Amino acid sequence: MKPWLLLGRAQPPGGGAELLLYQRDSEFSLKADNQELMNSRVYGSEEAMARLGCQNLGKRPGARVLIGGLGMGYSVRTALDTLGEDARVVVAELVPEVAEWNRGVLAELAGRPLDDRRTELHETDVAELIMAARGDYDAILLDVDNGAEAMVREGNNWLYSLPGLTAAHGALRRGGVLAVWSAVPQPAFVKRLRRAGFGVDEVKVRAHGRSSRKGGAHHVVWVAKRG
């Protein structure tokens, strides 16, 4: 088996775990220090998060969706494919190099979602966009860590705190959805979502998604709806 080739490294602004991009043949891996954040062979649950968050927005005129975390572009692509032609997908990616990789070596993995005219990329912390919003979004999709606790940078903990979730609640329109990806269930986070005013469903999704293989790992998507 061929060894992994290191293609690039990046340090999140303000500190945090170093991001490392590797390639082996046609497979790519994005790691935070030595822990894998994403792999180009296992992205079904990221697609599921975007479908669950946007599933009722396909016919809504001018739907507006905020995505925190660009990753390899799979969630952005799925949101675009689910939404209408007049929708707007606002993507917050804190690390400039991740955006560069998605315009370069990773671009074809998800069909160049950053080139779609409906995509609006902001190289900033998604928390900044959430705090600035007042009922602006029909859906907010968060996939910036491996669950509801900071991994890439300590500042991400705010997103999963009660103040952060309350801010997300206020950033959504009535009936809007906050979808959060996680590698594992976290009952305490579900309780915080409810305290922030959300109705919550915890959905188990296959990591491989469209893969034909049976079994395999599962991840979790919390679908939290503003009443």
List the CATH number of the domain containing 72: 3.40.50.150
Query: Containing H/E element for 178?
Result: strand 172-182
Q: Does a structural domain hold residue 59?
A: yes
> Could you tell me if 225 and 177 are in contact, meaning their C-beta atoms sit under 8 angstroms apart?
yes
Q: Does 18 map to a domain?
A: no
Q: What is the pLDDT of residue 117?
A: 98
Q: What is the pLDDT of residue 150?
A: 64
How many structural domains does the chain have?
1
Q: Specify whether the CB–CB gap between 172 and 138 falls below 8 A.
A: yes
**Is 100 a domain residue?**
yes
> Does some domain include residue 124?
yes
Is 14 within a domain?
no
> pLDDT per position in the chain (227 positions), as tens?
789 999 999 999 988 889 999 999 999 999 988 889 899 999 999 999 999 999 999 999 999 999 999 999 999 999 999 999 999 999 999 999 999 999 999 999 999 999 999 999 999 999 999 999 999 999 999 988 766 776 566 678 999 999 999 999 999 999 999 999 998 899 999 999 999 999 999 999 988 755 435 556 889 999 999 98
In a domain, 61, yes or no: yes
Residue 23 forms part of a structural domain:
no
pTM recorded for the entire structure: 0.93
What's the domain range around 140?
42-226
pLDDT of residue 183: 85
- Report yes or no on 3 lying in a domain: no
Alpha helices in the chain (DSSP H): 44-54, 74-82, 96-103, 126-132, 157-160, 162-171, 187-195
